[in-house]
């Protein structure tokens, strides 16, 4: 069963990387059409999520997958906002929310260790 989970994790990470690097190709191969417009950043966020899912499924603490997702999606959404590629009304609140959640995930191990002592 462990080998199946590792295989699934590798497959999700590979798919996520493909969505990040060549979303047009993935769209064409998977859906039969190229991704355009708003579908490109959505595909890249999905790619980030798939990479994080793969990391979370890898043997080890699943928190690392959520930490990876939160940090990378914060940076990517902020990049979209700063370059003017995205201007949605909830873009910056989403960036702030992901940054706060990432900060909480970073602090969590320190809190757990201090409670044990």
pLDDT in tens, 60-103: 788 899 999 999 999 999 999 999 999 999 999 999 999 999 99
- Angle, vertex CA 86, rays to CA 16 and CA 68, nearest 5: 35
Q: Taking a C-beta distance cutoff of 8 angstroms, is the pair 57, 9 a contact?
A: yes
The pTM of this model reads: 0.83
Q: What sign does the CA torsion over 79, 47, 103, 92 have? A: positive
Tell me if residue 36 falls in helix, strand or coil.
Answer: coil
pLDDT, residue 59, reads 79
Gap between the Cα atoms of 66 and 101, Å rounded: 9
- Which positions ≥6 away from 2 have C-beta within 8 Å? 59
Residue 38's nearest CA partner among 87, 101, 79 is: 87
Q: Taking a C-beta distance cutoff of 8 angstroms, is the pair 31, 76 a contact?
A: no
Question: How many C-beta atoms lie closer than 10 Å to residue 73's C-beta?
Answer: 21
pLDDT tens across 6-59, in order? 888 999 999 999 999 999 999 999 889 989 999 999 999 999 999 999 999 887
């Amino acid at each position: 069963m462990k080998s199946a989970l590792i295989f699934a994790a590798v497959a999700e990470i590979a798919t996520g990387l493909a969505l990040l690097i060549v979303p047009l190709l993935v769209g064409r191969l998977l859906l039969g059409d190229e991704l355009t417009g708003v579908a490109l950043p959505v595909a890249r966020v999905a790619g980030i999520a798939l990479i994080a899912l793969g990391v979370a499924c890898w043997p080890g603490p699943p928190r690392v997958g959520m930490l990876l997702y939160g940090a990378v999606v914060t940076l990517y959404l902020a990049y979209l906002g700063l370059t003017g590629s995205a201007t949605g009304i909830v873009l910056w609140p989403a960036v702030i929310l992901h940054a706060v959640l990432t900060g909480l995930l970073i602090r969590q191990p320190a809190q757990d260790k201090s409670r044990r002592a």
